[in-house]
């Protein structure tokens, strides 16, 4: 916490001496010297100059310290089905480099890792960012990530899931501790802390190629007993519905994933092959498309309503590119959800809103998960150890 | 924690001197003297005798300490619709007194409080228990308890809800800190810690006059943003179902509460007016009753399955007297729930079981909530202050 204040002072106040810093943050000079010594060693800050030029009187000139503008402190990586995103944040939590590399759907995971490494190192080169002082790496992956938990089987029906060992590969490459988790869960966390005052109870769902979710309960990300919490996409929305890739019928994903929505539009005669087509159909107020989106909103609102009845969240957040093109989904889901919560009195009804972060901000969500200053991460996860240290449990399940 | 070890040693080892105690628990004699001094002051332990009789050699005889068998340390109270239960536990967490007083449905809350006070004091008299050393009082009430939270309205449709101020009334009467919460939530906690090794993720539902629930997530009781978490009874099970007392249609409560189940049996021609009648109908294998109970199990399993898909609990526990008479409800709910979780691989499938504690153990659940030694209660709630101190937030919502 003291370190954070020192870093904030340097970010907002520019270069200053240890004495000025001590006065500004209200800490003793001894404490400030300890903190800045550590930050210098880690490469988070640098000695900018001495104060000889501005100094009045005699005596040894004092060093002036400032943030190293080229030092990456936090690396965020987001693996999607067809692309990987990378973002680097500095000690002040500002994003200083970011980029994306695409790959074919179904690309093996060892290739995806190499693509991510190459992207990260290219970004560092191009932006003059050095990665020697990385404090931590956050990695979002599609679907649940079971890490090295004993006794948890892989999911056979979802071939895009990350294999065990992603954490170790990054820890070895960058010599920093690594947290890996489902990217939708990271997005939930990023939404919860996207306000000035963090929201402590939040339900997040993302409509994408699939439908995923994440929960923040009492200020903490929820993993569940076995690491599979938040699987809103496979809640049964209609026991007589379409067959899902998981084997059940009528999962929320069979109604509210982007492909399912586009398919439903086509079945009603709308010529909608892509999200762009959907946006155009909405612009010309295609009634079949409007009806489909309303129905999706109702189904989504029912599933979210049952979840909200059980968890009593402050906010319900709906993410995915489609909700930004078709806000009617959020509007209808909000109306249905509020009726589902009819039994519960509320001075202020639950907030239902579209996500603030877009799908293209996945790496930012992973970085948000690294900012341990957030009370939301207290006791959530222990980062994977850097290469060379002994293996330990990645995720707290107790 | 040290205090707990001292108390455990005295409970299992009987009377012993401070020196013996220090050796047994592996603490310094100074520390043991401090702890026992405090326990003596609070009346939790007493000086049983000196060791003069058993002592070899000369010197001043040492005091032998033991638990005060008549000292109530924890008071648990459970208000139901038609009765209040009281239990008193000693420093060793053993129940040393307990009883029940009945009242008419709809009895005003000020009368219920007086009945509870009278019962508690009568129990103390009859069992020779003294209540001067109470460490804390736990009180279970029907429905959500909003305490003094600003901005949270009362629930108008549920007239059995406890009014604000129950905590203050008990704090003033017994001069001890008070925790008040929904009794179903306390039951969830009691189930989670009923094993040798506490379960960290548990969903609890109780089928009674209504249907309520409670959640333990990552080892903590969940309150939700506004204190209404766990309202499984008002999750919509069938949008076209019967009208619920809350105003919606087809809430789980309209299918799975005890009165709803008995009504459904009668609608199928079974002459079932009470739980006793239901037990007899099951004993003679009444097919209409069997069918109703199977259907209840399916509906319950679907709602619990959606909840379990979102929360990924280790255990799902179904409570209420009816599930002990009709285990088929749990059996069918378990089967339906496991199919709902079909998407999630599991080395060990989620445990679905009937509650271990019965409805008549409500006061024990309230006491379980007081045992702060349980990690399950860490950061859950701050107890209400004893009378005379300044009011503060009863329930942590951050």
- Among residues 335-394 of chain B, which lie with CB inside 8 Å of chain A? 339-340, 342-348, 350, 379
Interface test with B, best of A309, A315, A337, A377 (most B CBs within 10 A): A309
The secondary structure of residue A196, as a DSSP letter, is: S
Tell me which residue has tokens 């100074």. Answer: B30
Q: Would you say residue A232 has pLDDT above 60?
A: yes
CB distance B218–A215 less than 8 Å?
no
CA-closest candidate to residue B333, choices B195, B230, B217, B232: B232
- Please give the residue of chain A at the shortest CA–CA distance from B232: A310
pLDDT tier, A394 (very low <50, low <70, confident <90, very high otherwise):
very low
- C-alpha A227/C-alpha A380 separation (Å) is 12
**In this complex, is the C-beta atom of B243 within 8 Å of any C-beta atom belonging to chain A?**
no
- Distance from C-alpha of B26 to C-alpha of B308, rounded to nearest angstrom: 43
Residue to mutate among B157, B220, B224, with most A CBs inside 10 A, is B224
Q: Do A229 and B152 touch (CB under 8 A)?
A: no
User: CB–CB of A151 and B311 under 8 A?
Assistant: no
Which residues, including other chains, have CB under 8 Å from residue B57's CB and lie 6 or more apart? none
Nearest C-alpha in B relative to A250: B340
Predicted local confidence at residue A3, as pLDDT: 80
User: Which residues of chain A make contact with B241, given a CB cutoff of 8 A?
Assistant: none
Q: How many helices (H) and strands (E) does chain A have?
A: 13, 13
Compute the CA torsion angle B335, B338, B340, B343 (nearest 10 deg): -150
Separation between Cα atoms, residue A330 and residue A324, nearest integer Å = 9
| Among the partner residues B154, B155, B398, nearest to A200 by beta-carbon distance | B398
CA distance A226 to chain B (A): 7
Contact criterion met (CB < 8 Å) for B248 and A397: no
Query: Cβ separation of A397 and B154 shorter than 8 Å?
Result: no
Chain A environment of B220 (Cβ under 8 Å) = 218
- 3-class SS letters over A39-64: HHHHCCEEEEEECCCCCCCCCCCCEE
Inter-chain contact A152–B313, Cβ cutoff 8 Å?
no
Closest residue to B222, CB basis, from A218, A228, A246:
A218
Q: Which residues of A touch B182 (CB under 8 A)?
A: none
Q: Which two tokens stand for residue A328?
A: 């009617």
Is A204 in contact with A214 (CB distance < 8 Å)?
yes
Burial letters A143-162, b for 16+ CB under 10 A, else e: bbbbbeeeebeebeeeebbb
Strand, coil or helix: A163 = coil
Contact A103, A112 (CB under 8 A): yes
Task: Give the mean pLDDT of chain A.
Answer: 83
Using CA atoms of A146, A366, A185, A388 in order, give the dihedral in degrees to the nearest 10.
20
- Chain A environment of B235 (Cβ under 8 Å): 305-306, 309-310, 340
Which pLDDT belongs to residue B341? 93
Closest to A347 (Cβ–Cβ): which among B152, B345, B396?
A: B152
CA distance A35 to A145: 35
Enumerate the residues of chain A whose CB falls inside 8 A of the CB of residue B336: none
Q: Determine the 3-state secondary structure of A97 from DSSP.
A: strand
Contacts of B397 in chain A (CB under 8 A): 200
Q: Name the residue among B248, B242, B231 with its Cα closest to residue B185.
A: B231
Positions of chain B with pLDDT lower than 50, given as ranges: 150, 152, 372-398
CA-nearest residue of chain A to B230? A310
DSSP string, B345-397: --SSPPEEEE-SS-GGGHHHHHHHTT-TTSGGGTTTBPPBPPTTSPP--SB--
Which A positions 11-40 lie with beta carbon below 8 A of chain B?
Answer: none
Q: Which of B 61-120 lie inside 8 A of A, CB atoms? A: none
Please tell me the predicted confidence (pLDDT) of residue B362.
80
Of the pLDDT bands very low, low, confident and very high (cuts 50, 70, 90), residue A378 is very low
Q: Residue A187 above 50 pLDDT?
A: yes
Q: CA-to-CA distance for B396 and B398, rounded, in angstroms?
A: 6
pLDDT, residue B374, reads 43
Interface predicted TM-score (ipTM): 0.75
User: Which residue, A339, A268, A265, is CA-closest to A302?
Assistant: A339
**A226, B312: Cβ pair inside 8 Å?**
yes
B139 CB within 8 Å of a chain A CB: no
% of chain A residues with pLDDT over 90: 44
Q: In what side-by-side order are the strands of the sheet with B178-182?
A: B95-102, B83-89, B74-79, B136-141, B178-182
Identify the sign of the CA torsion B106, B109, B114, B119.
positive
Residue A309 has its nearest CB partner, among B154, B234, B340, at: B234
- pLDDT per residue as tens digits for the range A3-31: 878 877 887 777 888 999 999 988 899 99
Q: Compare CB distances from B218 to A220, A235, A239 and report the shortest one's residue.
A: A220
Higher confidence at residue A149 or residue A44? A44
b/e per residue, A307-339, with b = 16+ CB within 10 A?
bbbbbbbbbbbbbbbbbbbbebbbbbbbebbbe
Distance of CA A16 to the CA centre of its chain: 34
Best probe of the B interface among A218, A234, A237, A378, by most B CBs < 10 A, is A218
- Is the CB of residue B328 less than 8 Å from the CB of residue B363? no
CA distances B342 to A237, A328, B335, B345, B349, Å, are 14, 31, 11, 7, 10
Contact A219 B251 (CB under 8 A): no
CB contact under 8 A, B345 and A152: yes
Of A157, A232, A344, which is closest to B231 when you measure between CB atoms?
A344
| Chain A residue with the nearest C-alpha to that of B301 | A236
Q: Does B59 touch chain A (CB under 8 A)?
A: no
Structural domains of chain A sorted by starting position, each given as residue range(s) with its CATH number in brackets: 2-67 (1.10.10.10), 74-187+361-377 (3.30.420.40), 196-355 (3.30.420.40)
C-alpha distances out from residue B345 to A90, A235, B331, B348, Å? 39, 15, 21, 9
Chain A residue numbers with beta carbons less than 8 Å from the beta carbon of B307 are: 306-307, 310
* pLDDT of A392 above 70: no
The confidence score (pLDDT) of residue A8 equals: 76
Residue A141 and residue A162: Cα distance in Å, rounded? 6
Question: Measured between beta carbons, which residues in chain B are less than 8 angstroms from residue A340?
Answer: 235-236, 248
Residue A273: predicted pLDDT: 94
Does A225 sit within 8 Å of B312, measured CB to CB? yes
Establish if A228 touches chain B: CB-CB under 8 angstroms.
yes
Q: What is the mean pLDDT of residues A101-107?
A: 90
Q: Which of B299, B306, B307 to mutate to test the interface with A (most CBs of A within 10 A)?
A: B306
Q: Which residues of A touch B218 (CB under 8 A)?
A: 217, 220, 222-223, 379, 396, 398
- The tally of CA atoms less than 13 A away on the side-chain side of residue A144 is 32
* Arithmetic mean of pLDDT, A260-264: 97
pLDDT at A344: 83
> Is there a contact between A244 and B217 if contact means CB atoms under 8 Å apart?
no
Is B299 an interface residue toward A (CB < 8 Å)? no
At A391 the three-state DSSP class reads coil
Residues in chain A: 398
Strands A315-319 and A202-207: parallel
Across the interface, which of B229, B309, B350 has its CB nearest the CB of A312?
Answer: B229
Please report the number of interchain residue pairs, chain A to chain B, with beta-carbon separation below 8 angstroms. 177
């Amino acid at each position: 916490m003291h370190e954070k204040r020192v870093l904030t002072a340097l970010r907002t106040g520019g270069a200053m001496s240890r004495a000025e810093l001590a006065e500004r943050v209200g800490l003793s000079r001894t404490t400030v010297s300890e903190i800045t010594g550590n930050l210098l060693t880690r490469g988070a800050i640098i000695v900018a100059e001495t104060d000889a030029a501005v100094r009045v009187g005699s005596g040894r000139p004092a060093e002036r310290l400032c943030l190293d503008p080229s030092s990456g402190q936090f690396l965020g990586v987001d693996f999607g089905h067809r692309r990987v995103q990378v973002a680097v944040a500095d000690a002040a939590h500002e994003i200083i480099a970011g980029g994306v590399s695409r790959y074919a759907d179904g690309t093996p995971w060892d290739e995806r890792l190499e693509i991510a490494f190459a992207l990260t190192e290219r970004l560092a080169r191009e932006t003059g960012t050095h990665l020697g002082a990385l404090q931590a790496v956050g990695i979002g992956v599609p679907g649940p990530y079971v890490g090295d938990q004993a006794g948890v089987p892989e999911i056979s029906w979802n071939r895009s899931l990350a294999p065990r060992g992603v954490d170790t590969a990054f820890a070895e490459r960058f010599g920093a501790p690594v947290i890996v988790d489902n990217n939708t869960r990271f997005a939930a966390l990023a939404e919860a802390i996207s306000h000035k005052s963090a929201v402590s109870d939040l339900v997040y769902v993302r409509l994408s190629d699939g439908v995923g979710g994440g929960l923040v309960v009492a200020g903490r990300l929820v993993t569940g007993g076995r690491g599979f919490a938040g699987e809103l996409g496979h809640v049964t929305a209609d026991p007589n519905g379409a067959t899902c890739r998981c084997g059940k019928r009528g999962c929320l994903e069979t109604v509210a994933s982007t492909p399912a929505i586009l398919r439903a539009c086509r079945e009603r005669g709308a010529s909608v092959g892509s999200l762009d087509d959907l946006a155009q159909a909405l612009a010309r107020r295609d009634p079949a498309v409007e009806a489909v989106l309303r129905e999706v909103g109702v189904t989504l609102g029912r599933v979210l309503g049952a979840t909200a009845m059980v968890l009593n969240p402050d906010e319900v957040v709906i993410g995915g590119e489609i909700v930004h093109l078709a806000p009617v989904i959020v509007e209808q889901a909000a109306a249905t959800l509020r009726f589902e919560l009819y039994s519960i009195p509320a001075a202020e009804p639950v907030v239902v809103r579209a996500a603030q972060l877009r799908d293209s901000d996945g790496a930012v969500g992973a970085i948000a998960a690294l900012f341990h200053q957030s009370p939301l991460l207290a006791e959530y996860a222990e980062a994977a150890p850097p290469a060379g240290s002994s293996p330990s449990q990645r995720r707290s399940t107790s």
